[in-house]
Structure 1
């Protein structure tokens, strides 16, 4: 098993070398594309956690321990959504605040 993992790791090294980021603009583009895929998936998972907690809370009305479990699912789902939206907002604030101008600066001539 260790041989297969080592072989997989070694065979993926050329992919990592080809995917190197050369400048800050390509890093920004790569980060935006990753966040555009990951953020909706995580937000959907958090909403499903809240809905699952609501179902557990309502369907187990007689069992206090199951209601506590449902309540904790709801709480952690809301906390997860809050954290994701906060990080997303901070990233957008930083993205709009820091200018990433790609025009080269002309050196002074004599």
Structure 2
């Protein structure tokens, strides 16, 4: 029984690093920025509709969905970092 696992295939590791750095991280940041813009649009709608209850509810809804989107993007980013650091440690 071997004492340690063999090192990961460098081609696969390089490919995963490339995919993460060139596709996943920019995509996560773009989606986070969109969620932030959606949240700020909700704040704008909420403030603009001070006299209109319906507009305030729409603004609240936008703010809540914006916060949910940002939370999801933080979670995805954290999960990817955990998977990446764990996969990097397997090869030792």
Deviation sequence 1:24-73 (CA, Å, 0-9, x none): 22431232120232122111111111110000001101111111110000
Total equivalences in the alignment: 79
Q: TM-score, normalised by structure 1?
A: 0.65
Q: CA RMSD in A?
A: 1.5
**In structure 1, distance between residues paired with 2:74 and 2:59:** 23
Greater RCO (Cα-Cα under 8 Å, separation 6 or more): 2
Q: TM-score, normalised by structure 2?
A: 0.77
Point out 4+ residue stretches in structure 1 off by more than 2 angstroms.
Answer: none
Gaps of 5+ in 2: 1-10
More helix by share: 2
Alignment of 1:11-22 (within 5 A): none
Deviation sequence 1:5-40 (CA, Å, 0-9, x none): xxxxxxxxxxxxxxxxxx422431232120232122
